[in-house]
Amino acid sequence: MEKYFVENLDIAVIGAGHAGIEAALAAARLGCKVGIFTICLDAVGNMPCNPSIGGTAKGHLVCEIDALGGEMGKAADATFLQSRMLNLGKGPAVHSLRVQSDRRGYSQYMKHALERQENLMLIQGEIVEILTEGNRVSGVVTHLGAEYSAKAVILATGTYLKGEIIIGKSQLPGGPDGMFPANQLSECLLKLGVPLRRFKTGTPARVNKRSLDFSQMVVQEGDEEIIPFSFENEDIGENQVCCWLTATNERTHEIIRENIHLSPIYSGQIKGVGPRYCPSIEDKIMRFKEKTAHQLFIEPCGLETEEMYIQGLSSSLPEFVQRQFIHSIKGLEQAEIMRVAYAIQYDCVDPQALYPTLEFKTIDGLYGAGQFNGSSGYEEAAAQGLVAGINAARKLQGKDPVVFDRANSYIGTLIDDLVTKGTPEPYRMMTSRSEYRLLLRQDNADLRLTPIGYEIGLIGEERYQKFLTKKANIEAEISRLRCTYCSPQNQTLKEILERCGTPALSGGASLAELIARPQVSYFDLAPIDPDRPTLTKAEGRQAEISIKYEGYIEKQLSKVREFQRLENRRLPEDLNYEEMIGLRLEARQKLSAVRPVSIGQASRISGVSPADISVLMIELEQRKNRNGTNE
């Protein structure tokens, strides 16, 4: 009897969180017929932890997603409550945009975006099985027994796979925010040979705004100048809310230490590995005993709710202990707890099982994205979802895959770290992870990646032409600034330089030479530059940064050229590392497990030494000589 499918799909996306959304939208916009499955339609684009987008390095990812044609930046702009640029006291490489979002508004925006997208079906249903024919995926099965055929499947399950909520001694099956977990799919994945592991994350309590005493806290205003995430947006409105700062104290720490034996982390009840860079409050207090206070941010969850998020106070201690230590904190003495903090354990994959395209090495047509790949954070998830969606669509269309590398994006750094080095804990993006962070600023994400988005097909013609105009404006302005000179006798210039705290000129100098001074900005010089063209602030900033950091940028570009030389030395898929004479045993094992695609990737594998790389280079040369090719 012929098999009956409810629907014949090109691509099935499992999960409608931040990874699944970007994957589904990208694949559908590239012309594939996509079905995106979620356990609950009301949890599409949910923010079970802090309702914020961006932050240090994460803001870079959001700008890159937008530059490639993704949706997260637009959603963040449309639903922001407060916007702040972090790290302004440092150089532009680490400036990172962060917004507090309206939690329900963001979810509704993303749900509507999916509903309106051509070629895309949003379906409520738990996927319990992935169908395969040989080593290739062929479809998915829901908990109700409905079967959908699919030529590719993207796993974007977040923290739902065999999810367990842990609060004190209570350990209950569940996904974020009390949703149902996905318990059956893990068994299917294990049968397919997917190497699963157990990770853990957590979230703080939420409290009622009307029960807080803000007079004991420090107000945290948003920026006066609002800079959008999306390069398509200019004016997105004003800040609508404030956030507040408070801190733990000795009494808070004493309560936690007295009850530490009740913590599931310290009792051994929690088996999953937690994130090093976002520890629970009990973990902070036990690990950093010299600290007498830990800063906390009190942040709103939305305009139509009194629910407030306590950033920095994640915990899995019992509810009665949580109440005690929350009430010991200034401004929270009478706090009404609306949701208690909890830890969640979940299944995820060892990302070294994936290619840089995020396709599984052993299962054709199966892709992983987001927290399923061992990362943490909405932004990291969305970036991977976009890459998985692009590559799944391109594979079905017979096109070459798109691989982002460490030199062109934080997205490339993120994926390379995961698939090459693996991760022993939930991975979080940080600016320090990039060797080329002066080149990979968030302000120039469009200059780096929009041409790629256009070539892929996610950036439309109108947007691309505007981008080309912007690029031309910046280049022309840099050239003009280098050729426009000022006299040291100019009284207005003397006043500007004195006000900026930099020495007066002893001779003539170009505007570019003045901007190269650390104290002087492009905008400071407007009074002595009557021929200045009308540029946007973003274009002016780009011109300034290019001039001010020219020497440093050129040094990084030199390193990029060497990096690309190694990346372009491709390693054949049929290399048998186990039999390669000269490789150390550890290198053989690591290379066989990761199957690097290039000499560059091989060099970044932990346990592979420079001597091992030399052996690989010799092998490539010998192959070239044997085959008479330029392999």
pLDDT tens-digit readout, 475-527? 999 999 999 999 989 999 999 999 999 999 989 899 999 999 999 999 999 99
Cα separation, 73 vs 387, whole angstroms: 16
Cite the beta strand spans of 369-467 per DSSP E.
none
Decide if 55 contacts 83 (C-beta within 8 A). no
Q: pLDDT value at position 3?
A: 66
Q: For the segment 240-250, what is each residue's pLDDT rounded down to a tens digit?
A: 999 999 999 99
Mean pLDDT score across all residues of the chain: 94
Q: Rounded CA gap, 578 and 217, in Å? A: 61
SS (H, E, C) 150-161: CCEEEECCCCCE
3-state secondary structure of 502: coil
Whole-structure pTM value: 0.94
Cα angle: 396, vertex 400, 404; to 5 degrees: 115
Q: Is the pLDDT of residue 278 over 90?
A: no
Structure confidence at residue 1 (pLDDT): 43
CA atoms within a 13 Å half-sphere pointing along the CA-CB vector of 331: 20
Mean pLDDT in residue range 73-101: 96
Q: Where in the chain is the domain with CATH 1.10.150.570?
A: 569-627
- Rounded percentage of the chain residues whose pLDDT exceeds 90: 88
Q: How far apart are the first and last CA of the chain?
A: 49
Q: Where are the alpha helices (DSSP H) in 215-310?
A: 250-258, 264-267, 281-287
At a CB cut-off of 8 Å and minimum separation 6, what does 113 contact?
Answer: 21, 25, 71, 75
> Which class is 569-627 in CATH?
mainly alpha
Task: Yes or no: say if 427 and 376 are a contact pair by the CB < 8 Å rule.
Answer: yes
Report the alpha-carbon distance of residue 538 to residue 543 in Å, rounded.
Answer: 9
Q: Report the C-alpha gap between 146 and 127 in whole angstroms.
A: 9
Give the residue-averaged pLDDT of 140-161. 97
Q: Given the DSSP bridges, would you call strands 342-349 and 80-86 parallel, antiparallel or unpaired?
A: unpaired
Q: Which fold has domain 475-556?
A: Arc Repressor Mutant, subunit A (1.10.10)
Mean pLDDT, residues 346-353 taken together: 97
| pLDDT value at 271 more than 80 | no
Mean pLDDT over 288-296 rounds to 94
| 140-165 mean pLDDT | 97
Angle 551-557-561 from CA coordinates, rounded to 5°: 150
CATH 2.40.30.260 segments of the chain: 206-344
Residue with the larger pLDDT of the pair 196 and 272: 196
Provide the pLDDT confidence category of residue 191 given band limits of 50, 70 and 90: very high
Question: How many angstroms separate the CA atoms of 156 and 367, rounded?
Answer: 9
pLDDT value, residue 581: 87
Q: Which parts of 156-281 are beta strand (E)?
A: 164-167, 170-173, 196-203, 206-208, 218-220, 243-247
| Tokens (6 digits) for 568 | 């372009």
pLDDT of residue 546: 95
157 touches 38 (CB < 8 A)? no
Q: What would the two tokens of residue 386 be?
A: 């976009």
- DSSP-derived letter for residue 352 is G
Rg value, the chain, Cα: 26
The region, left, alpha or beta by phi > 0 then psi within -120 to 50, assigned to residue 403 is beta
**pLDDT reported for residue 23:** 98
Top pLDDT among 109 and 624 is at 109
Residue-level pLDDT at 631? 46
Q: Which two tokens stand for residue 68?
A: 């490639």
Per-residue pLDDT, 27: 98
Q: What confidence tier does 366 reach under pLDDT thresholds 50, 70, 90?
A: very high
* Distance, CA of 42 to CA of 104 (rounded, Å): 10
Structure token digits, residue 200 = 């853990």
Hey, what are 331's tokens?
Answer: 């401004």
In the chain, residues under CATH classification 1.10.10.1800 are 475-556
Question: What are 497's two structure tokens?
Answer: 């330089």
3-class DSSP assignment, residue 124: strand
- Sign (positive or negative) of CA dihedral 440, 443, 449, 451: negative
CATH architecture, range 206-344: Beta Barrel (2.40)
pLDDT value at position 607? 87
**Measured distance CA(181)–CA(126) in Å, rounded:** 9
Lowest average pLDDT, out of 29-38, 277-286, 397-406, 424-433, goes to: 277-286
